[in-house]
Amino acid sequence: MALELVSSSKCFEGEQRIYSHNSTVLGCEMKFSVFVPPCMLEEKKECPVLYYLSGLTCTHENFIHKSGMQQHAAKEGILIVNPDTSPRNVNIPGEDDAYDFGSGAGFYVNATQEPWSKNYLMYSYVTEELVELVNKNFAVLPNKKGIFGHSMGGHGALICALKNPGQYQSVSAFAPICNPIECPWGQKALKGYLGDDKEQWKQYDATHLAQNYAGTPLELFIDQGSDDNFLKQKQLLPDNLLTACAGNDHLQAIYKQREGYDHSYYYIATFVGEHIAYHAKFLKN
């Protein structure tokens, strides 16, 4: 699994890099970003790894340009990896027709419906192929792994953690889509990728997964701006997830509502340092 270095820039004594590779799982060339902290570069230390999943319309670049996360990752000594949000240029008719389905909107599921089922396997890409690539090519501690994300990517982070007890030592989410079965974004994506059987949808719905979670005790850090238009439009539905967690002794939820903040990267940039410090508590002990 050869990686090609696309770019590298010095940043907070570390390096912000972009790589490309041919994905066996997705059947196309993919790019992902890696912030390598100075302790890994200078001291050759093995470091924890934190995966960030982006939201609708994003690529692998939005987070690295807009969040200001590098200073916090450098301070904590954590490698941060963020993939693209879907396969690219796989020539499926209609893949570029909508912002909330197809390109830039993989929803971190494994599609079962043609023509999407050949390439749109983002769940397996994020939880298996990308992890294997990172473990092979970087001096990471494979048993010190966290995951977080924003909006669609917050949904992705939650389901990856809930579906794989013990694989991630920490999980957090900015303004996540918490109950996709019950919101327009989720209904469109899940129907398109998985078909009409709503029982299949439940395996990618954090609220349903939380209701039935019986694995390693897990804490979910949910972060939400109070002035988020998508919260008001009932696309996110955090209360449903919080209710599910409250009824499950294996789960604990931390919910922070940020007064006056919206859904943008200004909001993420304000609190990303708090999230990275939160993950560091679990990943560095």
Active site residues: 151, 228, 263
SS3 state of residue 5: strand
Q: How many angstroms separate the CA atoms of 130 and 52, rounded?
A: 12
Residue closest to 50 by CA, chosen among 40, 42, 59, 58: 40
Helices (H), 34-96: 38-42, 62-66, 70-76
Report the half-sphere exposure of 88 (CA within 13 A, side-chain side): 16
**DSSP state for residue 213 in the 8-state scheme:** -
Residue closest to 106 by CA, chosen among 4, 49, 30: 30
Q: Determine contact, residues 210/181, Cβ cutoff 8 Å.
A: no
SS3 state of residue 269: helix
